[in-house]
């Protein structure tokens, strides 16, 4: 999965969780929670959705590595290339 595909998937999932979100506002360095007004339940649902779609089980201690698109893409890129460490 390319970084562009990961980016598109993250935005697609955010679009499902927060349908009102204007996904065009997404810039890679911005805090997703601020840009899309995601609360803690939304963020938990994003982690669930990533697990459902990619099989990546993100530990709670790593949530802060998903706060920006740039970090989330890098995290998922690594996780997908090392599936045994993250698959859960």
Partner 1 sequence: MPALGADMEAGTLVEWLVKPGDRVKSGDVVAVVETQKGAIEVEIFLEGVVSNILVPVGARVPVGTVLAQIDGAPGAAPPLPLEPAAAALKPAPQILAQAPPMPAITAPSSRLKITPAARRRATALSLDPTMIVKGTGVEGSIRLADVETYASGAKLAQRPAKKGLDLSQMRQAIAAAMSRSKREIPHYYLTETVDLNAALTWIERFNAEKTPVERILPAVLFLKAAALALREQPQLNGAYENGAFIPSSSIHVGWAISLRGGGLIAPAIRDADKKSLAELMGAMRDLVERARRGNLRSSELTSPTVTVTSVGDRGAESVTGIIYPPQVAIIGFGRVVTRPWVVDGRIETRPLVTVSLAADHRVTDGHIGGLYLAAVGRLLQEPDKL
Of positions 6, 18, 73, 79, contacts partner 1 by CB under 8 A: 18
**Contact between 65 and partner 1 (CB under 8 A)?**
no
Minimum CB distance to partner 1 smaller for 44 or for 74 = 44
Of positions 2, 4, 19, 25, contacts partner 1 by CB under 8 A: 19
Is residue 87 a contact partner of residue 79, using CB atoms and an 8 Å limit?
no
Residue 76 makes CB contacts below 8 A (sequence gap 6+) with 6, 10, 50, 54, 56
Of positions 3, 5, 28, 37, contacts partner 1 by CB under 8 A: 37
Q: How many of the other CB atoms lie within 10 Å of CB of 61? A: 7
CB of 14 to partner 1, least distance (A): 8
Q: Please give the structure tokens belonging to residue 52.
A: 């459902």
**Binding window for partner 1 (CB under 8 A); candidates: 32-40, 65-73, 74-82:** 32-40
Is residue 73 a contact partner of residue 7, using CB atoms and an 8 Å limit?
yes
């Amino acid at each position: 999965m390319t970084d562009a595909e990961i980016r598109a998937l993250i935005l697609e999932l955010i679009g499902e969780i927060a349908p009102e979100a204007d996904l065009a506002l997404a810039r890679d360095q911005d805090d997703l929670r601020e840009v899309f007004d995601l609360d803690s339940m939304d963020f938990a649902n994003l982690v669930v959705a990533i697990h459902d779609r990619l099989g990546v089980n993100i530990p709670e201690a790593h949530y802060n590595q998903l706060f920006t698109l740039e970090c989330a893409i890098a995290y998922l890129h690594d996780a997908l290339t090392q599936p045994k460490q993250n698959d859960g």
